Structure 1
């Protein structure tokens, strides 16, 4: 029990930052490219309460920590009216890419904090090191997970924006089944092998900062 509480304490802040900044980045990009839907609904904010999904942000990550499995979860998706963008087909990819890009930036920040924890020697160095390691892992996982080319994940939106109109429409019809496909990959143990090579690549890039 003490071990679980320690894990939750270490992971809570990195998880909240990861999902909050990810969703706020989508909202900011959407407003930047012409759609203020998320902004008008109060979702262009760093207040985590606006983005938390009780199951995807709280329950599922805790269950993953308890079982020692693949850390998995989601936040409430930011509402985007893609037809409200100035150039819907082109701008869709930038709005979608904003979330994973934000996770990469946060992973860099956590790497720098990890580096700091290695050079300081006080009561905060060990907690900072553990939290920084968690922050790097969570953001890399969230970044790679969201870039999987399955609608409605960000990777799916990016692929859709690059396809010819007819093909893009047929591809978008996968969206209602996207979450079920993802859950199927998770439950069959295929999700981790798919993501691992790409996560290792990101870890390698981040390691060059140390």
Structure 2
């Protein structure tokens, strides 16, 4: 049965809200675990999507990137983390940064499992659940791969800073002030899609091997 326009919007909206909310909350939980309570004090360790939505990064840019036929692109309001409060700032930065992408892969797995089990639901719900599951897989894998791109202030940039020797890490971290400009330029020139496509295919194949 063909989905209505509202059902199609809901099929994509719900996975997007879950993807950005759990991603940001995961950073907050990881930061708290390793000693920084900044996000908790500001009420940002929450699954309430309204706390994480950025009008430009969560709504405008994703819509534009889809309309232009490029890779889905966007961001949420980042959960504040004071890395100096972590017990081992440079080492623990790795796990705090990795928590977000890891949560996206976990959610993609969950949507993949749901996709393989839609037959157990009533026939009237199967088309909607299939569409939502496919959307959930796509959105979470794109966010996973995008956030692993090694450019500050993305999670991949934080991971790189954590792994590099101290002097190199300090120099690399200075790129952060130009990071979003570089990222947007890479997006609209098509270079970002070329770089990320092979990584995205790898995670798609990995997910397929795990759940199909």
**Structure 1 length-normalised TM:** 0.95
Cα RMSD, aligned residues only: 1.6
Q: Is the 8 A contact 2:52 2:77 kept in 1?
A: yes
Residues 86-107 of structure 1: CA distance to partner in whole angstroms, max 9, x if unpaired?
0001000000000000000000
User: Structure 1 unaligned runs (5+)?
Assistant: none
* Distance change >3 Å, CA 66–CA 9, structure 1 → 2: farther
Q: 1:26 corresponds to which residue?
A: 27
Q: 1:88 corresponds to which residue?
A: 89
Between the aligned partners of 2:117 and 2:15, the Cα distance in structure 1 is 17
Q: Is the 8 A contact 1:33 1:85 kept in 2?
A: yes
Q: Is the 8 A contact 1:118 1:129 kept in 2?
A: no
Q: 1:158 corresponds to which residue?
A: 159
Give the CA deviation at 1:69. 3.4
Q: 1:149 corresponds to which residue?
A: 150
Q: Is the 8 A contact 1:27 1:43 kept in 2?
A: yes
Following TM superposition, the consecutive aligned residue runs of length 4 or more in structure 1 with deviations greater than 6 angstroms are none
User: What are the within-5 Å matches in structure 2 for residues 112-123 of structure 1?
Assistant: 112-118=113-119, 120=121, 122-123=123-124
* Distance change >3 Å, CA 125–CA 162, structure 1 → 2: same
| SS of structure 2 residue aligned to 1:124 | helix
Q: 1:101 corresponds to which residue?
A: 102
Between the aligned partners of 1:193 and 1:176, the Cα distance in structure 2 is 24
**Structure 2 length-normalised TM:** 0.94
Q: Is the 8 A contact 2:7 2:128 kept in 1?
A: no
Residues 55-106 of structure 1: CA distance to partner in whole angstroms, max 9, x if unpaired?
1112222333444432211000010000000000100000000000000000
| SS of structure 2 residue aligned to 1:104 | helix
* Distance change >3 Å, CA 31–CA 178, structure 1 → 2: same
User: What are the within-5 Å matches in structure 2 for residues 1-210 of structure 1?
Assistant: 7-118=8-119, 120=121, 122-208=123-209, 209-210=211-212
User: Structure 2 unaligned runs (5+)?
Assistant: none
| SS of structure 2 residue aligned to 1:177 | helix
Between the aligned partners of 1:195 and 1:119, the Cα distance in structure 2 is 35
